Amino acid sequence: MKTKSQKKSRAKLLHQYYSYTGFYKFILKSLRKAAIPVILIVVALFLFNKYVFTIDDGLKLLSESFSRTGVFITFFISETILGLIPPEIFIGWSKKTADPVVSLSILATLSYTGGMLSYYIGKASLKIDRFRNYLEVKMAKQIKNTRKWGGFLIIVGAMLPIPFSITCMTAGMIKYPFKGVVLFGLFRFLRFAIYAWAIFKVVS
């Protein structure tokens, strides 16, 4: 059984390792990068909502134009293939459904499942030379960082506004243990809960 001093010393070593490898700097840099587009999107939405077309009307139109199943399928494909569409749009849409909590829960589960599927896409890509070479070039930095920081980077991918599928795909490419992706990826549910809390206050 580990003593408190052993746990402290392990935590200290981890802290030193992440400091030395630049993990904390990477987090700050990612937050800064994420903050700029988020602020721009918020400002654009505010102006669009005020002068062009209200967000509520847009989400209502989305609900009326597409079936619930169609929206879920589109979201799942997006969350599996490089996170092409921002999840925030779908979170806002869920508020307009008959049961927002159920819809949000399904979205979070689909996002999580899409990430797990992306892991196997990354793993399978190792068998296809052209695809592997393309991904290794496109995601060279992500691969390098995942090799260094592993699970913590998966948490970052699950929580921050960066494509979760890319993080999981990279983990598959470096053959990071799947059980680690399953465990750390659970933070994806927390992200959806936090974002929903904020977005539901804006969407009536």
Q: Which of 27-31, 116-120, 122-126, 197-201 has the lowest mean pLDDT?
A: 27-31
pLDDT of residue 46: 64
Q: What is the pLDDT of residue 193?
A: 94
Q: Tell me what pLDDT residue 73 has.
A: 92
Which pLDDT score is estimated for 61? 66
Q: What is the pLDDT of residue 183?
A: 93
pLDDT at 2: 52
Mean pLDDT for 52-57 is 60
* Distance between CA atoms of residues 178 and 132, nearest Å: 19
Q: Which of the pair, 170 or 56, is modelled with greater confidence?
A: 170
**According to the model, what pLDDT value does residue 67 have?**
83
Three-class secondary structure assignment of 36-85: HHHHHHHHHHHHHHHHCCCHHHHHHHHHHHCCHHHHHHHHHHHHHCCCCC
Geometric angle at alpha carbon 187, from 164 and 138, rounded to 5°: 20
Across residues 40-48, what is the average pLDDT?
64
Arithmetic mean of pLDDT, 177-198? 92
pLDDT in tens, 135-167: 667 667 777 777 777 777 788 888 887 788 888
Q: Quick one: pLDDT at residue 84?
A: 76
